[in-house]
Structure 1
C-alpha cells in the first residue's frame, strides 16, 4: 500500500472554521454555560420571526376547555388572533398549557369552524342555516313559552309555589364562578327549581 493511498483512506478532519461553528463550541466561547442564549441557535432559527413579536396587542384570557382555568395570552394582529400561549402571570397555570390549550388558536381560525346555527324544524329532514341572533331569539321565545305553559302559582292544598317544572339548567365545567352566579340568578328569577352544574358531580 502506497503512502498516497494511506493518506486518501485517512478520515478528513473538519476545518478550524467549521469546528468553531459547532454549537457546543459557540456556547463555551460566548460564556453561555446553560445553553440558553443565541449561541445554540442556527442561522435558520435566527431568521425566523415569531408571530408574537409582530402582534398589535396582547389580551389576557382563560382557556375555554376544562374547569382548571389556565391563563392565556392571546396575540392579535389586524383584529385576528395569530397566536395563543400560556400566561406566566397566572397563579393557576404559571405559563403552562396542556396540548388542547396550546392548540386553542384553532378554535378561532380553523376553516372548519361553524359560524352559523344549524336548525332542523320538527319532523323536518333537512337542516336549515340560521344567523346566531335569530337562533337566540328563538330560544328566548321557547323559554318564555315553556315558562308560561308550565307555571304553577299554588299547589292543590293552596300552598304558594310560584315555580315552573318546564325549565331546567345544567351548567358545564368551563363556566366560572361569575357565570354560574348569573345563571343561578336568572333561572331562580324565572321560577326554575331544577338547576344543576357539572362542578358538583
Structure 2
C-alpha cells in the first residue's frame, strides 16, 4: 500500500529534485546521486560570477578576479588598482624629495670633482658618467613606480628605499659643497 509522492502528508520544496535519493536501492544510486549533485553545484558556481557588495574588499590569491555587486544587482569587473593610503602617499612623497636631493647632490659633487677627475678619465667619459649619475635617481624612481604598479605598497616602498640607499651622492658627501 504505497501511495505516490504527491499523496504524502508532508511536501517539501525541492522534493522534485532529480538528484534526490528516494531510498529504493541506496547502495547503487548513492554514488551517482552524489556525483550528479556535485556536477550540478559546480555548474551553478561556474555560471554565477563571484562578486562582493560595496564596502567589502577581496584579499589574497584570486582577489583580482572578484567583481563588484552594484545596487541594481549587476556585477561589474574590478580592474582598477586600489588607491594608496595616506601613509603610503606621504612616504612616497618623502622618498621623492630624497631622490630630488640626491640628484642635486650628484650635480654639485660631480661638478666639484670635475677638475680632479679629468686627470684620471677622459673629459667626454667623465661628462657621460656625470650625466648618468645625475639621471640615476630619476630613472630609479620612475622605473620603480612603473614596475611596481600592480604590487603591494610595501614592495614599492622597499624598492624606493633600496634606491635611496644605493644612489647616495658619495662625491658630495666626500668633498662637500665647499670642498678644500
Same fold (TM over 0.5): no
More helix by share: 2
**TM-score under structure 1 normalisation?**
0.24
Write 1 or 2 for the structure with the bigger share of strand: 1
- In the superposition, the TM-score normalised over structure 2's length comes to 0.26
